[in-house]
Amino acid sequence: MGKIKYIIIFLVVFALGLVLVKGVDRIIANSVIARDSEMLASKFQMYITESAEQILEMPRLDPGVTCTAELESLLKQKTFDSSFVRWLAIYKDNQVLCQSGVIPHDLTALKAHKVRENLSIAVASHNTQTSHELFLMRHMEGIDYIASITPLRPRYFVPVDCERCLEYKVSLDSDPYIEFGFDNFADEPVVYHVVQEQNPYYHATFELSGNRVFLEQYSQLGWRVSVATGIVLGLLACLVYWRWNNHQISLDSQIKRGIQRGEFIPYYQPIVDSSTGMPVGAEVLVRWLRHDNRMIPPNQFIPFAEARGHILPMTTSMLNKVINDIQLLGGQSPPLFFSINIVPAHLENDDFYHQLQEIVESGMLGHHRLSLEITERLPIKDMTLARQTLDKIYALGIDLKLDDAGTGYGCFSYVQHLGISTLKIDKMFVDTIGQSHNFNGKTLDAIISFANESKLHVIAEGVETVEQQGYLGELGVKLIQGYYYSKPLAAEDFFKFTLA
């Protein structure tokens, strides 16, 4: 079973590792696309501005100009000098009048978008798809220069060895609306990025997309990385689990050893009647005094001890110490009750009852008595059985208090079925005293009136201030447990406290 757990953990985390790297692949692919669409936008701007500068440097023409050898060589020279102008011509009445070279250009359906008074970007509208030709026009009166500009090609960008994986679309928000692009694959894009560019000349949208082949560039690069990551994470998870498991096992055995060595000792927190200032009892609170003299508070081991079934022997060991303390130190004290925290498991059979019976019948308690408290936070599986056990315990003169009243869901039902004598109000409600806008403040009043109606005694827990003590006193709550009177004390200190 142990090995299977490790295998399952490894496989689950391994699979998560693969998914994680796949996710990372996509993140990288997306960031590449984002970076390149910015590049596309800036290249477009660079092509346009540089080419515009070039053709604006050309001499101004009259409508009546004719194509001379000199003009032709000027056009050739300009094409040669400029980085992005591939062909330059003089254009009049939809006719090429003079050109830098005889290259076929279909100018019949040009869509031009003015970017300045005398400049337009133009695209031959019928070939917006697989290849397009981008033109820049300089308008003069009745005659134009027209320049063919180097097309934007996404495959100039990364990744190098994916020929048909990237495409783009540029739309100029213009009248007429111009859209052109490079349609390079037939399948759906899986990653894409859109950049909006707004400058004094144009407002354009650049969309660069990659398909599955593009994404695979990154996954191919990543599959070894994926497996390696999966293995590393899987092994790490097994290691963490192994360490955690060892810790649990060692905590388990430390608690067992602690019980055998009697390391769980009782502390006593006085419960005082505020009307007389006299202690009437104590709550017994366990402390783990380790062999190295470290004192461990209960919240660090009680939940674990409950879950692992150590709580019953722990209570027994502690109860024996309580009896010992009472016999040794309690002779002079006034009559007190000692309230022991129990869990539902204590009521599932007669074992605990028999222990209590033995203690009571032995007379070791002297003029003191025992009491029990159970938290309403832990559910009781079999109420009838619990009540049967409790009735035997009640017959010994031991009563049951409901701990943490109001914090769980069991309050009403526990009071109804278990024969509770006293409600212990949790610190959480006591803390609301003096806070006018606290919802829990209403609950405090409700618990107290519920207790009065049900003829239950009340103990307020976690009372720290004179204000809290006073408020509770006015509502008739006289039994107080809290730092206001005392913190939980070691046996000797507690019995001294009761004599003071």
Interface contacts to Ca ion, rule CB under 5 A = 341, 373, 403-404, 461
For position 24 contacting ligand C2E by CB under 6 A, the verdict is no
CB of 374 to Ca ion, least distance (A): 9
Rounded least distance, CB 290 to ligand C2E, Å = 16
Give CA–CA dist 98/92, Å, rounded.
10
User: Which burial class, exposed, middle or buried, applies to 418 when counting CB atoms under 10 A from its CB (0-12, 13-18, 19+)?
Assistant: buried
For ligand C2E, give the closer residue by CB, 330 or 482: 482
* Residue 39 sits in the site that holds ligand C2E (CB under 6 A): no
> Using CB distances below 5 to 8 A depending on partner kind, what does residue 286 bind out of Ca ion, ligand C2E, none?
ligand C2E
Q: How far is the C-alpha of 466 from the C-alpha of 485, rounded, in Å?
A: 10
CA distance 194 to 15: 33
Sole binder of ligand C2E in the list 464, 465, 475, 493 (CB under 6 A):
464
Strand intervals (E) in 141-202: 143-149, 166-172, 178-182, 191-198
Q: What share of the chain is helix, strand, coil (3-state, %, to 5)?
A: 45, 25, 30
User: For residues 257 and 263, what is the distance between their CA atoms, to the nearest angstrom?
Assistant: 8
Give which of ligand C2E, Ca ion, none residue 482 binds (C-beta under 5 to 8 Å, depending on kind): ligand C2E
Nearer to Ca ion, 167 or 373 (CB): 373
Of the residues 204, 233, 311, 460, which one makes contact with ligand C2E according to CB under 6 A: 311
Question: Smallest distance from the beta carbon of 325 to Ca ion, in angstroms?
Answer: 18
Q: Minimal distance in Å, beta carbon 401 to ligand C2E?
A: 10
Q: Is 466 near ligand C2E (CB under 6 A)?
A: no
**Residues 343-362 as x/- pattern, contact with ligand C2E by CB under 6 A:** x-------------------
**Strand arrangement of the beta sheet that strand 178-182 belongs to:** 178-182, 166-172, 203-210, 191-198
Q: How far is the CB of 343 from ligand C2E (least distance, A)?
A: 5
**Interface map 470-489 toward ligand C2E (x if CB under 6 A):** -----------xxx----x-
- Distance CA(116)–CA(202), nearest Å, equals 9
**CA–CA separation, 234 and 9 (whole Å):** 7
Residue 302 lies near ligand C2E (rule: CB under 6 A): yes
Distance of CA 341 to the CA centre of its chain: 36
Task: Give me the least distance between CB of 196 and ligand C2E, in Å please.
Answer: 59
| Token pair in block for residue 130 | 């697989």
Strand pairing of 191-198 and 178-182?
unpaired
Size of the site for ligand C2E (CB under 6 A): 23
| 36 contributes a contact to ligand C2E by CB under 6 A | no
- Distance between CA atoms of 246 and 362, rounded to whole angstroms? 43
Among 63, 297, 334, 379, binds ligand C2E (CB under 6 A): 297
Name the site residues for ligand C2E (rule: CB under 6 A).
269, 285-286, 297-299, 302, 311, 318, 341, 343, 375, 403-404, 427, 461-464, 481-483, 488
